[in-house]
Chain A
Amino acid sequence: MISRGPAFLLACLILAAIAAPAIAPYPPDRLDLTHRREAPSAAHWFGTDDLGRDVFARVLFGARVSLAVGLLSAAVAGASGIALGGAAGYAGGAIDAILMRGTDAMLAVPRLPLLMIAASVIEPSIPLLVVMIGLAGWMETARVVRAEFLTLGTRGFVESARAAGAGHARLIGVHLLPNAAQALIVSLTLAVARGILLESALSFFGVGVRPPQASWGNMLYQAQATLATEPWLAFAPGLFILLTTLSVNSVGDRLALAKPGPSLRPSRPLRSRRHVTAFHRPSA
């Protein structure tokens, strides 16, 4: 169902991040002032930075930060999106109208500048950064869940469950959410990729993950000053951001195209332009 390439690549990246202390040839913060600014070699695969730190080790440890921020911020975005979108789609009426106007308002504020201001004001720790990125990204999931709940709510099996006396919790937990799962998972994979890109963009501007903690974004931030003399510093961190977001987006793409299993409803084309924002880029 899912093409193996991207999923395999993603699994490798996650494994490498988990096993970073075992794989990394040097500790990521070890200074080696006799080997500063060295181009990639057998001893230092991705070269060394201005303090003689091994770039390969820093990329590996940066993977932990980037992947953790991406996955956890998507969890925050998903949980808030399910709660708000689910409430809107399930309750309908005035609650729906109010929640959706709030969603529209949030969508009209540019995400990256908003987060840049907030991060420069708050100077967040990594866990707080996860929450901030998550809270800036619930809108797409909320719209998807709301749309799913609204259409599912009119379907026969939900009607009959309601007529049979199913309570709110049972209707939502057993009938609505499982049937909205495919659309939901697709929107969550997009949120993971977006979270990784937002974290690296914030760190690239010096307001995200702060040195000496390595993150792909802040490695690029440091590399920017010496592009002409040490271009390798810019190469590896960005390549890993690209590989990660590419594999996450490709997996999401395949999931979106996958046929739902036999127990699920037939797939329905997403017509409304409400869905269109799902692929929206966080930054340009």
Chain B
Amino acid sequence: MIRFLARRVLQALPLLLVISALVFLLIHAAPGGPLAIYLSNPNVRPEDIERLRRALGLDRPLWQQYWSWLAAFAQGDWGYSFSDGRPVGSRIVERIPATLELVGASIAVALALTLPAGIIAAVRRGRAFDRITMGLTVAGISLPAFWFGLLLQIVFAIDLGWLPSSGRTTPGWSGGSGGPGSGGSGGLIGFLSGDLIDHLQHLVLPVTVLAVVQAAAWSRYLRGSMIETLAQPFVLAARARGLPERAVVLRHALRNAVGPVLAVVMVDAALLASGAVVTESVFAWPGLGSLFTEALARRDYSVLMALLMLTSTTIVIFNVAADAAHALADPRIAIAT
């Protein structure tokens, strides 16, 4: 088991090296390179750009630049944002809570939809529930998330006015009995409860988009995996021993079927945890995804590079973690590979 894990970690390291080279080359292949933002600014003189180029070490050979960037990155020195001069690390850290809040809630809701949908569809394979659920999941995986977000905004925020259309909190909102936007005064208790409710109201629409989209993909995997597992001899054996169907499905089949699904969930979670770019941008959610689109609009390459590396690293780590979890649940995996 330990050897299996050690090998997976060792395999992940060269993977990260390849990814970092890929990301680095992409940014430096840009016309004007990382200084593109200054090249288009008429107030920056060419000699200033030359000075910056030397100061930032951009006149050195590419591999030297790559090496010093990688060494600094690994030590947590992610450079400074080109657009506001603050350290990239602190710009990223201040966005993490918002993203984790959104993603945590979305994954919880998505799993709450996935588990019953996937299990019941597999058990009642080919029957009405299965056909309807699978029809809905094809629609779900085909749904463009940004359009779904816009539709929810039109219906629930603009037409019905039930929910706020964007952001994480209402600016200037401090409780009271009115709806969002009424602002005004309120006692301390009103402030606390109003604040929490305001917060939750802002979560509903973006969480709906992410949860629906993820649950559609995940329940397809879970159904497929459950169908395969339910056809295994040990399930027949469990039924033959007279176990109640509930125990057969939940304790015997589900435990064995959940491994491959877990791998997908982990990778998606890693992807989302590094910023749901589309959803955060549609709902102006102040997380890592919005930071990415803001940095993209300003050609803030140091932030973009750090975010891309962060996402890829998280995906690789979560992949290894998923393998480990799978191997813990099913020791045959560690032996076979």
Contacts and interface: CB of A to CB of B under 8 A. Distances in A.
Interface residues of B, number: 64
Q: Is the interface of B mostly helix, strand, loop or mixed?
A: helix
Contacts of B293: 116, 205
B180 to A, nearest CB: 15
B278 A112 contact: yes
A118 interface: yes
Given A102-B18, A284-B214, A220 B147 contact: yes
B117 interface: no
Contact of B146 (A220, A231, A235): A220
Contacts of A237: 147
A201 B145 CA distance: 9
A246 B140 CA distance: 9
A276 B221 contact: yes
Given A108-B19, A121-B31, A279-B221, A113 B311 contact: yes
Contacts of A164: none
A234 B142 contact: no
Contact of B312 (A108, A117, A228, A249): A108
B296 A273 contact: no
Contacts of A242: 139, 142-144, 147
Contacts of A269: 228
A132 to B, nearest CB: 11
A276 to B, nearest CB: 5
B271 A284 contact: yes
Interface stretch (B56-64, B150-158, B188-196, B246-254): B150-158
A280 B216 CA distance: 11
Interface residues of A, number: 52
Contact of A204 (B22, B31, B146, B311): B146
B210 A284 contact: yes
A105 interface: yes
Contacts of B151: 234-235, 238
Contacts of B267: 277, 280
Contacts of A106: 22
A223 interface: yes
B136 to A, nearest CB: 11
Contacts of A205: 281, 293, 296
B9 to A, nearest CB: 14
A234 B150 contact: yes
Interface in A203-239: 204-205, 207, 220, 223-224, 227-228, 231, 234-235, 237-239
Interface of A: 101-102, 104-106, 108-110, 112-114, 116-118, 120-121, 193, 197, 200-201, 204-205, 207, 220, 223-224, 227-228, 231, 234-235, 237-239, 241-242, 245-246, 248-250, 253, 269, 271, 273, 276-277, 279-281, 283-284
